[in-house]
């Protein structure tokens, strides 16, 4: 296979600098921009495609667009909607990476005779000389580290991935972009879910479903009714503001029941738990989990990894026991397991274990 690489160019500064870095290293670089937009969404806008093309022109590399709208709808948007209907909080980026970027797009990369798919993720990799396994590592800048969102990648996917910006802080990437004369050097980055329009998650999901969410009860843990809500979609575990009820003290969402359409609220201390059950483990640093393992577990992207012990409790289920209780463990989110900077693996949070 040649030294050709494909860069997934989003039109943002990170992937643009990644493309420039690969060209500087002597690779034959081709840029691909994915069109993934939903019926109502705003991702992969015409401006983003134009920005990616302008960067490719500045670097004198070929650039193409590829449409994976159907796959994105089936694998990411439909999953996103179904999780909210169940009363869970989905993590679309953690699904998109293995299924779309390193799924259908990586297949395209291989068909074009390229060795690697290059992205602008803030993460690092190395190969374990002892086991031969590819190891996923945290990015240098902790505030921008995106290894969490890559925790579902397989060994084969990691073997064909490159993350050239992972060893740099974000500010340095912007400086490099300016020095390289890239037209997106000062482009701001979106902090929102890429396919959700400005009208918000609730409106987006109701449009996808074709009907509004059912109203239901807001209750305490003892079952006492405190009020009503207009749909579970408007709530998440740990939420305090916007509950629309008065209890005479600060109260928080502690549980969402998608089947019975109820929201349970309680005091802050009710949000803390030291055990969770997760499913569908994906192991990266090890082929499987045989014995108990001491790790640091990250229960959401902005969560600081916490000391914990993980063990299998069935063929497809893991118990995570934290040394100290963690706040707002949320079903539907991804639990990612670390030892130092290395990602051991990940699993989907199902429920807390009392």
Helices (H) and strands (E) in the chain, counts: 9, 17
Whole-number Å distance between alpha carbons of 74 and 123: 27
Residue 217, domain extent: 213-266
| Residue 190 lies inside a defined structural domain of this protein | no
pLDDT at 188: 84
Task: Express each pLDDT in 243-287 by its tens digit.
Answer: 988 888 899 999 999 999 999 999 999 999 999 999 999 999 999
pLDDT at 225: 94
* Catalytic-residue membership of 194: yes
* Least confident stretch, 6-20, 44-58, 280-294, 322-336: 44-58
pLDDT at 1: 43
Q: Give the domain-ending residue among 154, 179, 204.
A: 179
Number of domains in the chain: 3
Same domain, 282 and 242: no
Same domain, 174 and 230: no
pLDDT at 168: 96
Same domain, 142 and 221: no
pLDDT band at 341 (very low <50, low <70, confident <90, very high): very high
In terms of Cβ atoms closer than 10 Å to its own Cβ (0-12, 13-18, 19+), residue 226 is middle
- pLDDT (average), residues 65-81: 95
pLDDT at 40 over 60: no
Same domain, 131 and 53: yes
- pLDDT (average), residues 210-225: 92
| Residue 197 lies inside a defined structural domain of this protein | no
* Dihedral sign (CA 55, 57, 58, 64): positive
pLDDT at 353 over 70: yes
Cα separation values, 74 from 83, 88, 151, 316, Å: 13, 18, 21, 24
Same domain, 253 and 110: no
- pLDDT (average), residues 45-74: 94
Q: In CATH, what number is assigned to the domain containing residue 153?
A: 3.40.50.620
Same domain, 10 and 158: yes
Pick the catalytic residue from 43, 44, 93, 96. 96
Same domain, 113 and 228: no
Task: Express each pLDDT in 124-146 by its tens digit.
Answer: 999 999 999 999 999 999 889 99
| Residue 205 lies inside a defined structural domain of this protein | no
Same domain, 32 and 164: yes
**Angle of CA points 124, 130, 136, to nearest 5°:** 20
The distance of Cα 175 from the centroid of its chain, to the nearest Å, equals 26
Same domain, 66 and 110: yes
Mention every residue, 6+ apart, whose C-beta is less than 8 A from residue 55. 9, 11, 16, 19, 31, 182, 183, 184
pLDDT at 44: 65
With pLDDT > 90 as the criterion, what percentage of the chain qualifies? 83
Pick the catalytic residue from 43, 44, 93, 194. 194
pLDDT at 39 over 60: no
| Residue 331 lies inside a defined structural domain of this protein | yes
Q: Look over the chain and give the mean of its residue pLDDT values, rounded to a whole number.
A: 93
| Of 243 and 161, more confident | 161
| Residue 191 lies inside a defined structural domain of this protein | no
Whole-number Å distance between alpha carbons of 22 and 61: 11
The model's pTM: 0.94
| Residue 195 lies inside a defined structural domain of this protein | no
pLDDT at 42: 54
pLDDT at 84: 94
pLDDT at 191: 66
| Residue 306 lies inside a defined structural domain of this protein | yes
Q: Give the domain-ending residue among 130, 159, 179.
A: 179
Same domain, 310 and 287: yes
In terms of Cβ atoms closer than 10 Å to its own Cβ (0-12, 13-18, 19+), residue 261 is middle
- Give the DSSP H or E segment for 51: helix 46-59
Same domain, 174 and 247: no
Task: Express each pLDDT in 100-109 by its tens digit.
Answer: 999 999 999 9
| Residue 208 lies inside a defined structural domain of this protein | no
Q: In CATH, what number is assigned to the domain containing residue 328?
A: 2.40.30.10
Whole-number Å distance between alpha carbons of 259 and 88: 11
Q: Give the domain-ending residue among 132, 154, 179.
A: 179
Same domain, 314 and 285: yes
Q: In CATH, what number is assigned to the domain containing residue 229?
A: 2.30.30.280
Task: Express each pLDDT in 309-322 by its tens digit.
Answer: 999 998 899 999 99
In terms of Cβ atoms closer than 10 Å to its own Cβ (0-12, 13-18, 19+), residue 275 is middle
* Catalytic-residue membership of 96: yes
């Amino acid at each position: 296979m040649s030294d050709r690489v494909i860069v997934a160019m989003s039109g943002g500064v990170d992937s643009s600098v990644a493309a420039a870095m690969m060209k500087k290293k002597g690779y034959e670089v081709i840029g691909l921009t994915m069109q993934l937009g939903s019926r109502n969404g705003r991702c992969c806008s015409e401006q983003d495609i134009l920005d990616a093309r302008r960067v490719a022109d500045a670097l004198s590399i070929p650039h193409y667009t590829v449409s994976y709208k159907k796959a994105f709808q089936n694998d990411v948007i439909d999953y996103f909607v179904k999780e909210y209907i169940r009363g869970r909080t989905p993590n679309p980026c953690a699904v998109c990476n293995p299924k779309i970027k390193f799924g259908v797009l990586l297949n395209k990369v291989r068909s074009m005779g390229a060795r690697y798919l290059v992205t602008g993720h803030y993460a690092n990799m190395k190969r374990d000389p002892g086991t031969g396994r590819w190891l996923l590592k945290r990015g240098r800048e902790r505030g921008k580290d995106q290894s969490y969102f890559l925790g579902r990648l397989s060994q084969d996917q990691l073997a064909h991935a490159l993350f050239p910006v992972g060893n740099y802080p974000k500010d340095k990437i912007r400086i490099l972009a300016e020095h390289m004369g890239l037209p997106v050097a000062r482009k701001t980055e979106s902090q929102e879910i890429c396919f959700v329009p400005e009208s918000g998650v609730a409106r987006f999901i109701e449009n996808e479903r074709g009907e509004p969410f059912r109203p239901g009860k807001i209750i305490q843990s003892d079952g006492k009714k405190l009020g009503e809500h207009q749909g579970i979609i408007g709530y998440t575990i740990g939420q305090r503001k916007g509950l629309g009820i008065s209890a005479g003290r600060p109260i928080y969402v502690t549980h969402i029941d998608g089947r019975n359409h109820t929201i349970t609220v309680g005091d802050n201390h009710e949000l803390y738990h030291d055990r969770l059950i997760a499913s569908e483990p994906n192991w990266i640093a090890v082929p499987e989990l045989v014995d108990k393992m001491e790790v640091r577990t990250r229960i959401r992207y902005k969560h600081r990894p916490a000391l914990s012990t993980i063990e299998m409790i069935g063929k497809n289920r893991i118990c995570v026991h934290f040394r100290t209780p963690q706040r707002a463990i949320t079903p539907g989110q991804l639990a990612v397991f670390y030892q130092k900077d290395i990602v051991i693996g990940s699993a989907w949070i199902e429920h807390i274990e009392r």
